[in-house]
Amino acid sequence: MRKTLVTAVCLAVAGTLALAGQASAATNTGDFTVTFPDKRPVTTYYVANEASLVSGNITAKSHVSWQILDDQVVDMSKRFTSFKITTRLETRPGKDNPDAIEATKTCDLTKLVNDHYTWFLDDPASTCTVPSMLYDGDVWWSSDSTVVYDVEGDGKGPITKQLLGSPLVHG
Write the pLDDT tens digit of every residue in 95-108.
Answer: 899 999 999 999 99
Residues 133-159, mean pLDDT to the nearest whole number = 97
The answer to whether position 2 is within a domain reads no
The answer to whether position 62 is within a domain reads yes
pLDDT in tens, 124-139: 999 999 999 999 999 9
Higher pLDDT residue, 83 or 123? 83
Residues 137-153, mean pLDDT to the nearest whole number = 97
The answer to whether position 6 is within a domain reads no
The answer to whether position 79 is within a domain reads yes
The answer to whether position 13 is within a domain reads no
The one-letter code for the residue type at 107 is: C
pLDDT in tens, 38-73: 888 899 999 999 999 999 999 999 999 999 887 766
Q: Is 21 exposed, middle or buried (0-12, 13-18, 19+ CB in 10 A)?
A: middle
| Cβ-based neighbour number of residue 61 at 10 Å | 23
The terminus-to-terminus CA distance of the chain in angstroms comes to 35
The answer to whether position 90 is within a domain reads yes
* Helices and strands (H and E) in the chain: how many: 2, 9
Specify the DSSP element, H or E, that contains 61.
strand 57-68
The answer to whether position 5 is within a domain reads no
**Domains identified in the chain, total number:** 1
Instruction: State the pLDDT at residue 169.
Output: 95
User: Residue 165 pLDDT more than 90?
Assistant: yes
Full domain range(s) for residue 54: 23-162
pLDDT in tens, 10-46: 333 333 333 334 578 999 999 999 999 888 889 999 9
pLDDT class of 94 with cuts at 50, 70, 90: very high
Residues 67-84, mean pLDDT to the nearest whole number = 84
The full 3-state SS of the chain, as one line of letters, equals: CHHHHHHHHHHHHHHHHHHHCCEEEEEEEEEEEECCCCCCCCEEEEEEEEEEEECCEEEEEEEEEEEECCCCCCCCCCCEEEEEEEEEEEEECCCCCCCEEEEEEEEECHHHHHHCCCECCCCHHHEEECCCEECCCCCEEEEEEEEEEEECCCCCCCEEEECCCCCCECC
The answer to whether position 3 is within a domain reads no
* Alpha-carbon gap, residue 42 to 35, rounded angstroms: 5
